[in-house]
Amino acid sequence: MPSSEDRRFEVLRAIVADYVSSQEPVGSKALVDRHSLGVSSATVRNDMAVLEEEGYITQPHTSAGRIPTDKGYRLFVDKLSEIKPLTQAERRAITSFLDGALDLDDVLRRSVRLLAQLTRQVAVIQYPTMSNSSLRHLEVVPLTPARLMLVIITDSGRVDQRTVDLGDVMTEENVGRIREMLNTALAGRRLTDAATRVTELPDQAPGELRDAVIRICTLLVEHLVEHPEERLVLGGTANLTRSVADFPGSLRQVLEALEEQVVVLKLLAAARNPGAVTVRIGEENEDEQMRSTSVVSIGYGKNDMLLGGMGVVGPTRMDYPGTIAAVRAVANYVGQILAGG
């Protein structure tokens, strides 16, 4: 015989399910009709009264029905024993959609579009953070005899380009010597270590290359140490406008907050290790503008190395099991792609 607490949780779970699908406050009669709770409607009414007293559900306006509160959603999410698995069709869609990606930018753009489609929320993904990456290769390309382009390629697939004026003409052979010197010193190193190593290179350069090496290294140190502003890709913002009723008077605030990258980066900062899903519901969001939303976020990466965060933002009235499953599946797949399969 389930305890009264377990039974009340089943009532809460039923209220969450009905409210998420119908957007209508849920009454005791509807619960008894729609869910086999195995108890009388008087018992259900009793359970709803206790849930309301404990702050898990509330009565909006004069409606006879009840809706879950942030606290109610939190209990529901904390007790989610089974995450709704994705269907085979959804899994195949993820694979085929992401397998066609050409480069890192394309992988992230496709991931955001896919996540927005699967969850019908706003999807957001952070570019791999530089500090966790290693330098895979440094290509040095002569643009003119006195100007070079540096192509910095990291193991997370990020590619950055910088041009450097040498102030003097340089032969192809010397360009080759500089390329070899840079890669011998830097390839395979974490970016933070590479920055330290770069500062030592001018002293080791032969006299005729020293001036060029100083110019190149100055540029590299700036690039490796002062990480460019973290970049984000957002998709599916229009999905929020489908549920305006979920954001009474605050949809514009939410959209403005999403435009501020800092706010979104803070939301993703909770994702500390690949594979662990974090759910922030309503009032749990630090940023006031986001208090009518829930954020489901996860870290993506390879093995135990976190490269960045991704997630979705939507109303607190969301399909949590389905959203968590989709976020986890896409993050897992992006991690595999960036790890090279």
CATH number of residue 29's parent domain: 1.10.10.10
- Is 299 in the same domain as 333? yes
Exposure of 107 in the CB half-sphere (CA atoms within 13 A): 24
pLDDT for 19: 93
User: What are the pLDDT digits (tens) for 265-286?
Assistant: 777 765 666 778 889 999 998 8
How confident is residue 49, by pLDDT bands cut at 50, 70 and 90? very high
Residue range 236-250: average pLDDT?
A: 81
Is 319:339 a contact under the CB 8 Å cutoff? no
Which of 202, 226, 250 finishes a domain?
226
User: What are the pLDDT digits (tens) for 155-171?
Assistant: 777 777 888 888 788 88
Which one-letter DSSP state was computed for residue 269? T
**pTM assigned to the model:** 0.76
- Is 138 in the same domain as 113? no
pLDDT for 269: 67
How confident is residue 291, by pLDDT bands cut at 50, 70 and 90? confident
- Is 107 in the same domain as 75? no
- What's the mean pLDDT when you consider all of the chain? 84
- Is 241 in the same domain as 94? yes
Question: CB atoms < 10 A from the CB of 319, how many?
Answer: 18
Sheet with strand 147-154: strands edge to edge: 135-144, 147-154, 159-165
- Is 36 in the same domain as 138? no
pLDDT for 271: 62
pLDDT for 2: 64
pLDDT for 86: 80
How confident is residue 326, by pLDDT bands cut at 50, 70 and 90? very high
pLDDT for 323: 94
Q: Using the predicted structure, report yes or no on whether residue 88 has a pLDDT greater than 70.
A: yes
pLDDT for 160: 77
- Is 72 in the same domain as 100? no
- Is 290 in the same domain as 197? no
pLDDT for 232: 83
Domain containing residue 124: 88-129+229-339
Please name which of 161, 163, 159 lies closest in space to residue 148, comparing C-alpha atoms: 163
CATH code for the domain of 287 = 3.30.450.40
Which of 196, 211, 226 finishes a domain?
226
pLDDT for 83: 66
- Is 248 in the same domain as 309? yes
Q: 57-61, 121-125, 200-204, 262-266: lowest mean pLDDT where?
A: 262-266
CATH code for the domain of 205 = 3.30.390.60
- Is 276 in the same domain as 304? yes
- Is 42 in the same domain as 186? no
Residue range 113-134: average pLDDT?
A: 85
- Is 194 in the same domain as 243? no
Higher pLDDT, 50 or 291: 50
Q: Position 14: which residue type?
A: A
Which of 200, 226, 252 finishes a domain?
226
Higher pLDDT, 191 or 318: 318
Count of structural domains, the chain: 3
- Is 293 in the same domain as 198? no
DSSP SS3 for 68: strand
Which one-letter DSSP state was computed for residue 245? G
Question: Quick one: what percent of the chain has pLDDT higher than 70?
Answer: 92
Q: Using the predicted structure, report yes or no on whether residue 115 has a pLDDT greater than 90.
A: yes
